[in-house]
Chains A and B, each alone.
Chain A
Amino acid sequence: MNGADAIIKCLEAEGVKVVFGYPGVAICPFYNSILESDIRTILIRTEQNAAHAASGVARVTGRAAVCAVTSGPGATNVITGIATAFADSIPLICITGQVNSELLGSDVFQEADITGAVESFVKYSYLVRNVKDIPRIFKEAFHIANTGRKGPVLIDVPIDIQNAVIDKFEYPEEVNMRTYKPTVKGHAVQIKKVIKELEKAHRPIICAGGGVHLGEAEEELKAFSEKYKIPVVSTMMGIGVMPTKHPLYFGMVGNNGKAYANRAMNESDLLIMVGARVADRAVSQPDLITKDKVLVHIDVDPAEIGKNAGATIPLVGDVKHIFADFAKEEFSCNYEEWVATLVGYRETMEKKRTPNPDFVDPAAFITMLSEKMQEDGIYVADVGQNQIWSCGYHIVKKGRFFTSGGMGTMGYSIPAAMGAKLAAMDKQVIAVCGDGSFQMSMMELATMRQHKIPVKIIVLKNNYLGMVREYQHYTYKDNYSVVDLSGSPDLEKLAAAYDMPFLRLSNMQKAEETLNAFLAKDESMLLECLIDPMDLVK
């Protein structure tokens, strides 16, 4: 058995079903050994997308997913994918091949100091120096990626280590790291304090972030909210924590969110932030959420609490545990009046759009799509105007909503949707992107065809980098610079080139029948929607 065989054994022990990647000489021993395994390999068309695809798997399964690429450019290409996962706390294991140990530091062909380069985007990284360390390192890496505040871990493995003989393979049962013991249980005193504040409060609100999904605490949060009738808003990463049409859910906050959601948060007297970073796009003025109100901040990462807003009651721990502890407490309260006020805001403050009838109205289209999608389907939004419309008009029922929130990485949706589909073959998976973001990942159509991954793709086409165009519209008074996408391919011909069924929708008249045809079969298909180039999300 060599090091590469040992790595595969580690992945099998961790229950890994699929590896996304791109081989090169430095990772060839790994890709040779994986032939002996049942682990499926997916040849992605550019390394960044290997990480995004793994991110799609991880978000469905809740466990770290794996990508494996070669040294040098393979490794540096994957960095954006790693940074994207890091910003959204998605657990990944990224294996990079590396040049021979003896040549490290001599700038040989395809050598890159990848552990150094990714330092600020990974939860941890390893450079394997001894083949014997492989089982321990992989055990630790999965443990680190999957626990506490989840995140990507990179393991750089020189080719000689992959080829070196390992006498005995024994996968450790336990991890023993003196430097890493994430807090799981919330402090009992702090929990009591929160309950006391809830008793005193008249206008409490829960703001749920991506941490609720990562902590798999959606049910606990929903049950708590329902029991005491506490309204809930979410950040972009928290979308889907509560079904969109839930009577106690009041939309996404932030500068691209719903006005009534922001108003609800600002007018509350007790704000419970759960698994959210209080980042600038969700809370543009952190002072506002600490002024005149009690701020409870629940997060598994102590460093997030107090980073952007000073919490009245900090509460460190795993969200699922903390909400289980809340459920054990009993208290009396009556927030009916407050909920009624918020219902009023929701009914009256929804933004009125005046869609151009010559084009597809993204808002109406996305709403119709969510109504026709399977209830537990997975909707993957890309980045740009399409993302903001998706956040605003997609109705989550029992499914999931994925997007690149923290990093805002264009091109995320197609590879992430492929990963999501491979992890949940029985579910409908739809990637919604713009024509800019589509072109950042369109090479993956080949991957979808090669590996028969039936992901559905919708391209909202306006021939512009719409989000930037909108920004230039407001900030530079329509002085557009480098946002025109002329020269883009004819998507019908492109789909034909990949032997993929294609549909085009030019306005809303045939929206219903087009969507019915688009969603009819579990096969990959490309749907182009022509939208008004001058349309605005704000």
Chain B
Amino acid sequence: MKKRIYSVLVENRSGVLCKVAGLFSRRCYNIDSLAVGETDDPAISCMTIVSSGDERTIEQIEKQLNKKLDVIKVKTFSEQQCITRELMLIKIKYNKSNRRDIMELCEIMKAEIVDMSKHFMMIQICDTPDKIQLMITMLQTISVVEVARTGTLALSKCMEND
């Protein structure tokens, strides 16, 4: 199983997300993560899909995506060929005794405390999917209340012939 990232430019119309997601479920392709947002052109959305499969599946996913009439362009790359980022908001329960540790952890992980109350705080972190996972693991030793993640965003690395 290989991991593959697909950056899919689609017509920004209703129903397109459903069609693309439907393609994955119908053909039994994995979706490890999915992030959708408008591009600089409001008529176009960019879907970043992280999937995995054997060589043939990975190729088929690209071909099947290209067949969809709402898909403008499919770019695909491995994790090494692109910069990936994910944003997470995570709410935890804290107490006096672990508050310092949490703040220290945030400093190490370049995370930020964005909200807090007497017993809860919300941390924001924007990093690679690995780091996000690590942050969750670290915070699980404390007490995680809620998590929201964006899914992976990716763009191919800057090249002079871009």
Q: A144-B69, A180-B69 are in contact. Are A120 and B26 (CB under 8 A)?
A: yes
When the two chains form their complex, are residues B63 and A303 in contact, meaning their CB atoms are under 8 A apart? yes
When the two chains form their complex, are residues B22 and A120 in contact, meaning their CB atoms are under 8 A apart? yes
Chain A residue nearest to B64 (CB atoms) is A303
The CA of A144 and the CA of B18, in the complex, are separated in Å by 20
A73 at interface (Cβ–Cβ under 8 A)? Answer: no
Count residues of chain A with CB under 8 A from any CB of chain B.
18
A119 at interface (Cβ–Cβ under 8 A)? Answer: yes
The CA of A116 and the CA of B63, in the complex, are separated in Å by 22
When the two chains form their complex, are residues B63 and A124 in contact, meaning their CB atoms are under 8 A apart? no
Interface residues in B134-149 (C-beta closer than 8 Å to A):
none
When the two chains form their complex, are residues B59 and A119 in contact, meaning their CB atoms are under 8 A apart? no
Give the contact-size bracket for chain B.
10 to 19
B2 at interface (Cβ–Cβ under 8 A)? Answer: no
When the two chains form their complex, are residues A115 and B60 in contact, meaning their CB atoms are under 8 A apart? no
Contacts of B59 in A (CB 8 A): 306
A423-440: contact bitstring with B at CB < 8 Å (1 yes, 0 no)? 000000000000000000
Contacts of A179 in B (CB 8 A): 11, 68-72
A178 at interface (Cβ–Cβ under 8 A)? Answer: yes
B2-24: contact bitstring with A at CB < 8 Å (1 yes, 0 no)? 00000000010001001100110
B66 at interface (Cβ–Cβ under 8 A)? Answer: yes
Contacts of A116 in B (CB 8 A): 15, 18
The CA of A21 and the CA of B69, in the complex, are separated in Å by 27
Contacts of B56 in A (CB 8 A): 306, 310
When the two chains form their complex, are residues B18 and A119 in contact, meaning their CB atoms are under 8 A apart? yes
Q: Which secondary structure dominates where chain B touches chain A?
A: helix
B60-97: contact bitstring with A at CB < 8 Å (1 yes, 0 no)? 10011011111110000000000000000000000000
Contacts of B67 in A (CB 8 A): 301, 303
The CA of A178 and the CA of B10, in the complex, are separated in Å by 11
Chain A residue nearest to B22 (CB atoms) is A119
A302 at interface (Cβ–Cβ under 8 A)? Answer: yes
Chain B proximity of A159: nearest CB distance (Å): 20
Chain B residue nearest to A304 (CB atoms) is B63
Chain A residue nearest to B63 (CB atoms) is A303
Contacts of B71 in A (CB 8 A): 179
Question: 5 closest A-B pairs (Cβ-Cβ)?
Answer: A303-B63, A124-B69, A120-B26, A179-B72, A180-B69
Which residues of A line the B interface, CB within 8 A?
115-116, 119-120, 123-124, 127, 144, 177-180, 301-303, 306-307, 310
What are 22 A-B contacts defined by CB distance under 8 Å? A115-B15, A116-B15, A116-B18, A119-B18, A119-B19, A120-B22, A124-B69, A127-B15, A179-B11, A179-B68, A179-B69, A180-B69, A301-B67, A302-B66, A303-B60, A303-B66, A306-B56, A306-B59, A306-B60, A306-B63, A307-B63, A310-B56
